[in-house]
A and B are shown apart, each in its own frame.
Chain A
């Protein structure tokens, strides 16, 4: 059965496969997300997705791949080894707001539906959610708060309120 992910707040079938971090072999086939080290060895990087582990920063990616070319990558995924490891929130914002990445930014790993709201605010638009509960029910967690104080890509609340 095809697995599903959340993308753009809807459920879609998904065929991308994530290759383990210590793997040295690129499997045959399409729709493959490679760990950063392996991905940087490939010549045709655009055809693969790349995933960053939590200790790998946006700069680690742009060090091996010019930021100008980021938008040629099929997708970038960021791993959450545990739901309490918050590094991926910064990585996502940096990719979006500093490096101008506009493609799919996918959260993978052990994050919770309770974090979807923050993840989306930081720039994630795709979520391979694996916690307990249905994906249908998870969708409501995007709109758990009616507004927000901080600016991420937008203005802070006090500005929007005319302060």
Chain B
């Protein structure tokens, strides 16, 4: 993975001292609350219900074992012994003390980590495919490009005070695992007919109060122009995005009000002035060197994964784990292992300090010292020898990280909700658990196939409810917590925003409603049809009449 050079290190070290100074001035009354606000947000510090929340950046989801151990230490020493993986591949600590945050940042800087621009109205952490470099359907490894965009976005002098937050994802595979269409800018890496690398550029996607699928502003942008083109998009947004109403300030609203065509014309016009290519082959080659292929043993073959039939017929826990949590790898003889953070009884995406330390050891022993975080709030060990799978499974089982539920209805994307967040209208963690308990039988769960269930505690949509096959949104109904259900959302290709099923439900009804919905699917499905496919075929009406009988 990318290793800092002296310049990178000097920048994050300076950032720690800058924030130490700002914190001291705030505590001494020299910076007002409103002056300090954007400064602390751009270091990932929110004020939540109970304590400040610190969001630590994990650039494009890559972590070394050394960084994992540092995070474990920080969770243990400064926090309450656990952290929460966010949908943008970052990690959040819920119990930080403002006075200690500069020290936390200094500890992070020791392992080339930081909380820069993880919040605030600026360009946020760049996200990508958790299977970058190992996925079989990958077109080009996105990570060198993510690193380039990371550098471009870090302390960009022109774009640190945008109308609103700005999220960029890079997707580089035939299947999308980044929700690329739901980002302020989505970059789809691809080749043109001549075999050159470039990007399909999407702008104006997003969730929140107004979910929008991104618009294509360019079918193919040759890679040398990537950074100038980003500058052009951001410059148009920075100048003309709305600043009078924070709910209308995202770039999606600007794209909508101008219309994609006019917006695109404005970007292209701006870009014409600044289109001297900045990136060339030599740049790319040097960046690629930071993401070398591990020293795979090339004599291996796909022995274990090829025994699909044996595994499918075997009901053992190991076989279930192999079926659900282990994925094929592009290198013969290796496998991708997903570590589920969705065990019933644990808040989705939460991980303890001890688990983190243990994962660091497992990464060192089995996966070239690296791990990744995922958009679905799980972790990945990406380079496992197939012959190591049984041993790894045993170790993960002891750590409660081998729950065989990846991709199932239990693999819920969930925001921290009303238990932690001051924005939330309703709790979301207990809803996730109640649904997991309602459909607790694993055979029934597996029979449902892959279903994305996403839960947000308010319309800010941190739990991505709009793009769950089943989405649940917490709403406030005269002071009581209610839940609105939507169906038919999809994060990957083709993206779609869910349709609201009908009036919201009281908390205790939600698990039964979800069970009724998936039962109807089971009744209606044709052979081999996933939930989302059945939904697309039959539409929402059968679900409405089933859930709200006259």
- Give the B-binding residues of A (Cβ under 8 A): 57, 83-87, 89-91, 93, 98, 112, 114-115, 117-119, 121-122, 131-133, 144-152, 156-159, 161-163
Q: Which residue of A86, A91, A118, A163 has the most chain B CB atoms within 10 A of its CB atom?
A: A86
Partner-binding segment picked from B7-15, B318-326, B363-371, B460-468: B7-15
Q: Which residues of chain A have C-beta atoms less than 8 A from B11's C-beta? A: 145-149
The answer to whether B7 touches A114, judged by C-beta atoms less than 8 angstroms apart, is: no
Segment at the interface with A among B152-160, B350-358, B514-522, B530-538: B152-160
B283 an interface residue at 8 Å Cβ cutoff? yes
| Beta-carbon contact of B278 and A151 below 8 Å | yes
Residues of chain A lying within 8 A (CB to CB) of residue B151: 149-150, 156-158
Residues of A within 8 A of B154 (CB): 149
- Which residue of chain B is the closest to A111 with respect to CB atoms? B161
Which A residues are CB-close (under 8 A) to B287? 158, 163
Residue numbers in A under 8 Å from B148 (CB-CB): 158
Within 8 Å CB of A132, what residues of B? 30-31
Interchain CB contact under 8 A, B161 and A149: no
Which A residues touch B121, using CB under 8 A? 84, 86
Which residues, 234 to 251 on B, are CB-close (under 8 Å) to A? 235, 238-239, 243
Interface string of B34-51 (1 = CB under 8 A from A): 010011000000000000
Given contacts A85-B243, A144-B18, contact A152 B35 (CB under 8 A): no
Residue B298 at the chain A interface, CB threshold 8 Å: no
Q: Which secondary structure dominates where chain B touches chain A?
A: helix
The answer to the question of B282 belonging to the interface, with a C-beta cut-off of 8 Å to chain A, is: yes
> A112: shortest Cβ distance to chain B, in Å?
6
Which one of A85, A90, A152, A161 has the highest number of Cβ atoms from chain B below 10 Å of its Cβ?
A: A90
Query: Most chain-B Cβ atoms within 10 A of its Cβ — which of A115, A145, A150?
Result: A150
B444 at interface by CB-CB < 8 Å: no
Q: Which one of A93, A118, A144, A162 lies within 8 Å of B14 (CB-CB)?
A: A144
User: How far, in angstroms, from A87 to B35 measured CA to CA in the complex?
Assistant: 17
Q: How far is the CB of A161 from chain B (nearest CB, A)?
A: 7
Bound-state CA distance A7–B11 (Å) is 25
When distances are taken between beta carbons in the complex, the residues of chain A under 8 Å from B273 are 98
Give every chain B residue within 8 A of A157 (Cβ-Cβ).
Answer: 7, 151
- Residues of chain B lying within 8 A (CB to CB) of residue A83: 35, 38, 161
Contacts of A89 in B (CB 8 A): 157-161, 238
> Residue B162 at the A interface, CB < 8 A?
yes
Q: For A118, A133, A149, which residue has the most chain B Cβ atoms within 10 angstroms?
A: A149
What residue of chain A has the Cβ atom nearest to residue B244's Cβ?
A55
A163–B286 CB distance below 8 A:
yes
Cβ-closest 4 pairs across A and B = A86-B161, A121-B157, A118-B157, A149-B151
- The reply to whether B10 and A148 form a contact with Cβ atoms under 8 Å apart is no
B111 is an interface residue with CB less than 8 A from chain A: no
Nearest chain B CB to A118 CB, angstrom units: 4
Contacts of B155 in A (CB 8 A): 118, 145, 148-150
Contacts of A147 in B (CB 8 A): 7, 10-11
Are A90 and B7 touching (Cβ within 8 A)?
Answer: no
Whether the pair A84, B38 counts as a contact (CB closer than 8 A) is yes
A84 near B161: Cβ-Cβ < 8 Å = yes
State whether B14 touches A114 (Cβ < 8 A): no
A145 and B16 alpha carbons, distance in the complex (Å):
11
Q: Could you tell me the distance between the alpha carbons of A45 and B40 in the complex, rounded to whole angstroms?
A: 42
Asked whether B22 is an interface residue with its Cβ less than 8 Å from the other chain, the reply is yes
- B273: min CB distance to chain A, Å: 6
Q: Is B227 an interface residue when CB atoms closer than 8 A count as contact?
A: yes
B5 interface residue per 8 A CB criterion: yes
1/0 contact trace for B131-160 toward A, CB 8 Å? Answer: 000000000000000001001101111111
8 Å CB interface, B29-87 against A:
30-31, 35, 38-39
Given the known interface contacts A90-B238, A121-B157, the answer about A159 and B14 at a Cβ–Cβ threshold of 8 Å is no
Structural contact, A87 and B239, CB atoms closer than 8 A: yes
- In the assembly, what is the distance between CA of A146 and CA of B283, in Å? 22
Known: A114-B39, A144-B14, A156-B227. A150 touches B7 (CB 8 A): no
- Can you list 10 A-B pairs, Cβ within 8 angstroms, ordered by A? A90-B235, A91-B239, A93-B158, A114-B18, A114-B22, A132-B31, A133-B25, A145-B18, A146-B14, A149-B156
Determine the chain A residues whose CB is within 8 A of the CB of B227 once the complex forms.
156
Residue of B nearest to A114 (CB): B39
A92: nearest chain-B partner, CB-CB: B158
Query: Complex formed: what's the CA distance from A81 to B464 in Å?
Result: 34
Q: Is the CB of B152 within 8 A of A85?
A: no
Q: Which residues of A are found within 8 Å of B39, using beta-carbon distances?
A: 112, 114
Among B15, B227, B239, B278, the one with the most A-chain Cβ atoms within 10 Å of its Cβ is B239
